[in-house]
Amino acid sequence: LQLAGALRQALQRDELQLHYQPQLSIRDGRVVGAEALLRWRHPEWGMVSPAEFIPIAEESGLITPIGEWVIRTAVRQMKAWRARGLPEMPVAVNLSAVQFRQENITELITRILDEEGLPYHLLELELTEAVAMDDAQRAVRIMDSLHEQGIRMSIDDFGTGYSSLSYLKKFKVSKLKIDQSFVRDLDEDPEDKTIVGTIIHMAASLGMKTIAEGVETASQLAFLRLHGCDEVQGFYFSKPLPAGQFEAFARSNG
Ligand code: G
Ligand code: G
Ligand code: MN
Ligand code: NA
């Protein structure tokens, strides 16, 4: 397969890059974190979306080296920002289904953090609700072991993966990320208003924070603020940025 071959070379040829999307506190608008998002710039095809190549990386097994590269690169970036005096904030990295099923995932992650010398609490891992619920018992085990090490987890695309509340209660996650499909029509759709409000209140009662994804308008922000959502992420504030631009954004919104 052409794409898999090109992807194998992408790692060696330095064609992969991480962009960082700011996450802001809804109370004061300060940047409190970032989500690392993978970018692949192919010399001939241009930008290839992770939505396109992550599935191929999973099928071909390339997700293992790529996933490790993503974690290590995000960790090194945090160290660089730290050395440059940027206030400390966690960076969230997306975990794919295959990575999540790796037997030694906790050890792999703590090994990278140890090798790079970064405190464990600065790395956050995002797992989609669908992947977590696909094998919820395993998710509970892995979350327990990551939590024991002080590594934070959040549930991505929340609201799309039919969580059982009895499992959600057992998941040691610090944050629910409200899926952008509910945020998109928040201004017009009364059902989405109900869903988003309910997620925020449920999360609070379970001791979890909420972050809304895909925030694009002032009125979406106003609704989220009124209902006590903790953090926001979306084009209204910033698209995902190259590391240098993220740093500038964080400094002027700190
Ligand atoms: O940033 P963008 O909208 O192009 O991302 C498209 C999809 O790719 C999103 O679902 C996002 O979660 C996923 N994605 C981006 N970076 C990574 C990554 O490093 N690992 C995994 N597994 N998925 C990623
Ligand atoms: O699946 P995940 O939530 O990890 O994917 C995040 C994706 O959402 C990224 O590809 C990112 O580029 C995209 N994204 C981030 N903010 C917005 C936004 O405000 N609107 C839209 N439509 N997409 C966004
Ligand atoms: Mn995500
Ligand atoms: Na998401």
Cβ atoms 124, 153 nearer than 8 A: yes
* Distances 242 to 9, 77, 152, 187, 226 between C-alpha atoms, Å: 22, 11, 23, 30, 32
- Residue 16 Cα, ligand 1 centroid: separation in angstroms? 13
DSSP state of 122: G
- Residue 55 Cα, ligand 1 centroid: separation in angstroms? 10
Cβ atoms 155, 175 nearer than 8 A: yes
Nearest-CA residue for ligand 1 atom 20 is 94
The residue among 77, 51, 29 whose CA lies nearest residue 247 is 77
Q: Which residue shows structure tokens 């609490």?
A: 121
In the three-class reduction of DSSP (H, G, I as helix; E, B as strand; rest coil), residue 203 is classed as helix
**From the CB of 159, is ligand 2 less than 6 Å away?**
no
For 124: left if phi > 0, alpha if psi spans -120 to 50, otherwise beta; the answer is: beta
Atom of ligand 2 nearest to the CA of 236: 19
Atom of ligand 1 nearest to the CA of 38: 16
Count other C-beta atoms under 10 Å from residue 253's C-beta.
16
Atom of ligand 2 nearest to the CA of 126: 4
> 33-90: per-residue pLDDT in tens?
999 999 999 999 999 999 999 999 999 999 999 999 999 999 999 999 999 999 999 9
**pTM of the full structure:** 0.97
Which pLDDT does position 1 carry in this prediction?
67
> 4-49: per-residue pLDDT in tens?
999 999 999 999 999 999 999 999 999 999 999 999 999 999 999 9
- The CA distance from 142 to 4, in Å, is 29
pLDDT at 92 over 80: yes
- Residue 247 Cα, ligand 4 centroid: separation in angstroms? 22
> 142-173: per-residue pLDDT in tens?
999 999 999 999 999 999 987 788 899 999 99
Cβ atoms 128, 161 nearer than 8 A: yes
- Residue 51 Cα, ligand 1 centroid: separation in angstroms? 6
> 175-224: per-residue pLDDT in tens?
999 999 999 999 999 999 999 999 999 999 999 999 999 999 999 999 99
Model ipTM value: 0.96
**From the CB of 213, is ligand 2 less than 6 Å away?**
yes
**From the CB of 75, is ligand 2 less than 6 Å away?**
no
